[in-house]
Amino acid sequence: MGEPVAPLTPPLIQRAALGRAIALGLWALVLLRSVADGRLDLLLRAAFHPLVALAGLLLLGLAGLQLALGLQPEGATERLRPRQAWNLAATAVLAGMLLMLPPSPSFATLAGQRPPDRTAVTAPDAELSFTLPPAQRSLTDWVRLLRSQPDPRLFDGDPVRISGFVLPQPDAPPQLARLLVRCCLADAAPVGLPVRWPPATTPPQADQWLAIEGVMALEGPPGSEQLVVVPREVQVIPRPARPLEP
């Protein structure tokens, strides 16, 4: 009977524990990354995401244990057999590919694979919307709209079809105006829109009633632009029977 032979410690690259540590660690990273970057949202309900994270942490812990085992001289005697090495390499490559080239599921793909829900009680296009096409807005509608949504860029280029009387302005071209009634006639107040009057024509006379078709345009330096009506057609009209607009 001879002396017992101490098992030889294989080199790092041939230690089975280190191979397992690498494979398990990579899969742990795959799971943890899928939780962190939101790809799981399309695959699992949010309630189950912590489970995936937990599984990733568990795998990471196992990888850590294998790593510790592989680095200890007495625990690193198990040598990688060729078949085991191939299996570990294959799974590690797969995990590595998932980390480097993550699948990118899209809502469009998901939606394409699912039957449409035709029972939705409220279709998105059936929501209440307040619409008043620009060409149907009266002069007072325009004034109210600009007070409510004062960003003039929203209305640049909108078609305009309005009527009103000519209201002279001190140190400025006359405006087209109406009387705005909030409560009753006693509180009627003039409101107007600036007009870029055609240069070749004579300026309009005060109190003259005009119908203007044109577009809204921005005027003024950037940052303090103002909307102005650019007429395409100006027509003199008689005073309307109901001159006050609602």
Contact flag: residue 106 with another protein (CB under 8 A): no
Angle at 99 between CA 94 and CA 102, to 5 degrees: 100
DSSP H or E run through 211: strand 209-219
Residue 111 near another protein by CB under 8 A: no
Query: Which CB, 27 or 142, lies closer to another protein?
Result: 142
Q: How far is the CB of 112 from another protein (least distance, A)?
A: 15
Q: Choose which of 109, 136, 169, 226 interacts with another protein (CB under 8 A).
A: 136
- Cβ atoms of residues 29 and 53 within 8 Å: no
What is the distance between the alpha carbons of residues 109 and 103, in angstroms, rounded to a whole number?
Answer: 12
Asked whether position 142 contacts another protein by CB under 8 A, the answer is yes
Q: Is residue 27 near another protein by the rule CB under 8 A?
A: no
Alpha helices in 37-168 (DSSP H): 49-71, 82-100, 107-113, 139-148
| Residue 115 neighbours by CB distance under 10 Å | 6
Q: Report the length, in residues, of the chain.
A: 246
Residue from the set 41, 141, 213, 225 that interacts with another protein by CB under 8 A: 141
**Looking at this protein, which amino acid is placed at residue 1?**
M
User: Minimum distance between the CB of residue 68 and another protein, rounded to whole angstroms?
Assistant: 26
- Looking at the Cβ atoms of 145 and 230, the one nearer to another protein is 145
Q: Which is nearer to another protein, 67 or 145 (CB)?
A: 145
- Residue 186 in contact with another protein, rule: CB under 8 A: no
Nearest distance, CB of residue 146 and another protein, angstroms: 9
Instruction: Verify binding: residue 41, another protein, rule CB under 8 A.
Output: no
- Which of 175, 80, 193, 97 shows the shortest CA–CA distance to 138? 193
Q: For residues 67 and 62, what is the distance between their CA atoms, to the nearest angstrom?
A: 8
Give the integer Cα–Cα distance in Å for 189 and 236. 23
Distance (Å, rounded) from C-alpha 203 to C-alpha 99?
73
Residue 131 interacting with another protein (CB under 8 A): yes
Q: Which of 121, 172, 186, 200 binds another protein (CB under 8 A)?
A: 121
Stretch that binds another protein, among 9-17, 31-39, 122-130, 159-167 (CB under 8 A): 122-130
Q: Which residues bind another protein (CB under 8 A)?
A: 83-84, 87, 115-119, 121-123, 125-133, 136-137, 140-145, 147-149, 181-182, 185, 188, 242, 244-246
